[in-house]
């Protein structure tokens, strides 16, 4: 295991650990957003592919850590159809990836997420009567986006926050939806050989910090955080949308290679 870290400096591991602390706090409190913090930083240390794999691998124990809240407070009528549809649709994203330029798709998704975030900030919600069919359609759309571009999280979070319910319920729905998409991502990462020994070793090193800071974020929510959960979650969602839009515009104007 130690030999797998020969290509990573001590400073790089320290930076990765700091990113895990920040990402865990955000993930623990809002139920999402950890990868947004960690992937850009770890990409500087490991490169993009290994960074995605390291964050995905370290995220599995965190999913288990957050799962009790999703099971206790999340709505099964939202999470189950959403998750099943997301898993079913994610493989089809590879065909979309061939047909549509990823940067253009990310731009469209980011604009849609920002528009939906603005609408929710002004008080818009899904109709209370929205049923399993609508939730499955949203899950399929998020899974398709996840498979094609790797950014299915923002649409999933937007769908969860747009439902009526208490902060605990909304956070439980967010955790359930984002966890499903995180597990969806593991299969294509494995297929493309991204789970290298180096990526897994870095994941093992940062995991204790990620778990501890996620616990701290959970405690923050359980304390006084419930009163401003929705505003904080919408702020993080807007930041995700803006960051994704900025990177997508850069890739669209200056494509790699």
**DSSP calls for 78-92:** HHHHHHHHHHHHGGG
CB under 8 Å to 201, separation ≥6 — which residues?
Answer: 1, 2, 4, 5
Q: Which pair of tokens denotes residue 16?
A: 């990765």
Number of compact structural domains in the chain: 1
Determine the Cα–Cα distance for residues 101 and 81; give it in Å rounded to an integer.
Answer: 29
Determine how many CB atoms are found less than 10 A away from the CB of residue 121: 14
Tell me the residue range of the domain where 200 lies.
3-253
What is the chain's pLDDT, residue by residue, as a tens digit (257 residues)? 567 677 778 888 999 999 999 999 989 998 888 887 888 788 888 887 788 889 889 999 999 999 888 888 888 888 899 999 988 888 787 676 666 676 777 787 778 778 777 876 777 666 656 677 888 888 888 888 777 666 677 778 888 888 888 888 989 999 998 888 888 878 878 887 889 898 999 999 999 999 999 999 999 888 777 778 878 888 887 887 888 788 778 877 876 55
Indicate the pTM of the whole model. Answer: 0.78
Query: Which segments of 31-127 does DSSP mark as H helices, in order?
Result: 34-46, 48-73, 76-89, 93-99, 102-121
């Amino acid at each position: 295991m130690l030999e797998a870290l020969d290509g990573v400096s001590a400073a790089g591991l320290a930076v990765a650990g700091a990113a895990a602390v920040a990402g865990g706090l955000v993930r623990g409190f809002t139920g999402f957003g950890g990868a947004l913090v960690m992937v850009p930083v770890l990409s500087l240390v490991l490169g993009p592919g290994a960074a995605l794999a390291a964050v995905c691998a370290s995220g599995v124990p965190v999913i288990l850590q957050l799962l009790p809240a999703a099971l206790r407070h999340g709505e099964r009528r939202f999470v189950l159809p959403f998750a099943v549809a997301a898993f079913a649709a994610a493989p089809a994203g590879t065909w979309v990836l061939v047909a549509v330029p990823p940067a253009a798709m990310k731009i469209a998704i980011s604009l849609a997420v920002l528009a939906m975030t603005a609408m929710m900030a002004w008080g818009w919600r899904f109709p209370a009567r929205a049923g399993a069919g609508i939730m499955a359609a949203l899950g399929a759309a998020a899974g398709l986006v996840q498979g094609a571009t790797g950014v299915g999280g923002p649409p999933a979070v937007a769908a969860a926050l747009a439902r009526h319910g208490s902060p605990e319920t909304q956070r439980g729905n967010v955790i359930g939806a984002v966890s499903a998409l995180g597990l969806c991502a593991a299969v294509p990462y494995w297929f493309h050989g991204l789970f290298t020994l180096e990526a897994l070793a870095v994941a093992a090193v940062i995991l204790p910090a990620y778990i501890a800071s996620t616990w701290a974020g959970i405690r923050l929510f359980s304390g006084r955080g419930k009163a401003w959960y929705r505003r904080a979650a919408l702020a993080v969602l807007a930041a995700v949308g803006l960051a994704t839009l900025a990177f997508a515009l850069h890739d669209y104007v200056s494509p790699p290679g």
